[in-house]
């Protein structure tokens, strides 16, 4: 009887150790994945604001300069966007890189919208509804309900 119990206890011990090891690896990978996602989201938010500031520089320059005094001209803002593009090579999806490249070569509200949608897909996956795809990102009118 004792000969049967000892192998069972050792299997449970080894199984517990193996389970703890695999659980540790899984938790570590989950943490790394979450950190990557948070980093990408933070960078994309900053880039979206910089692009919008570039497109609407006349109206947004005061806000930009308050938060980033070094971006005191449209030319410097464009250089910052180029730097962000070079950094994105490390973490952005191919689609985001391509749309960013298009935006840098031909800045427009339409290209801004296409890039924003690709960033959203890269962050959260899934499809974008046709209502979002049809939105006009240039002429945003204030909400009449407020």
Query: What CA–CA distance (Å, rounded) separates 93 from 36?
Result: 13
Q: What is the pLDDT of residues 45-100, one digit of tens each?
A: 999 999 999 999 998 888 888 989 999 999 999 999 999 999 999 999 999 999 99
Sole residue written with tokens 């806000």: 63
Of 136, 93, 113, the C-alpha closest to 48 is: 113
Residue 143 in this model has a pLDDT that exceeds 60: no
> What pTM was computed for the model?
0.75
Quote the tokens at residue 64: 């930009």
Q: What is residue 93's predicted lDDT score, i.e. its pLDDT?
A: 94
Q: What is residue 8's predicted lDDT score, i.e. its pLDDT?
A: 63
Q: What is the pLDDT of residues 20-49, one digit of tens each?
A: 677 777 888 888 888 888 999 999 999 999
Residue 130 in this model has a pLDDT that exceeds 90: no
Q: How confident is the model at residue 146 (pLDDT cuts 50, 70, 90)?
A: very low
Q: What is residue 29's predicted lDDT score, i.e. its pLDDT?
A: 82
Q: How confident is the model at residue 1 (pLDDT cuts 50, 70, 90)?
A: low
Query: What CA–CA distance (Å, rounded) separates 14 from 93?
Result: 41
CB 108 within 8 A of CB 137: no
Contacts 24+ apart (CB under 8 A), 2-7: none
What is the crossing angle of helices 2-55 and 74-88, to 10°? 160
């Amino acid at each position: 009887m004792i000969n049967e119990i000892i192998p069972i206890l050792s299997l449970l011990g080894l199984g517990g150790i193996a389970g703890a090891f695999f659980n540790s690896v899984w938790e570590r990978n989950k943490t790394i994945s979450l950190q990557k996602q948070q980093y990408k989201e933070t960078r994309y938010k900053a880039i979206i604001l910089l692009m919008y500031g570039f497109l609407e520089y006349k109206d947004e320059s005061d806000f930009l300069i308050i938060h980033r005094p070094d971006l005191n001209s449209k030319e410097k803002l464009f250089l910052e966007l180029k730097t962000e593009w070079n950094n994105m090579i490390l973490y952005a999806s191919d689609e985001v890189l391509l749309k960013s490249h298009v935006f840098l070569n031909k800045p427009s509200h339409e290209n801004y919208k296409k890039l924003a949608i690709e960033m959203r897909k890269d962050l959260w996956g899934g499809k974008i509804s046709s209502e979002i795809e049809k939105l006009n990102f240039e002429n945003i009118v204030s909400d009449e309900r407020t």
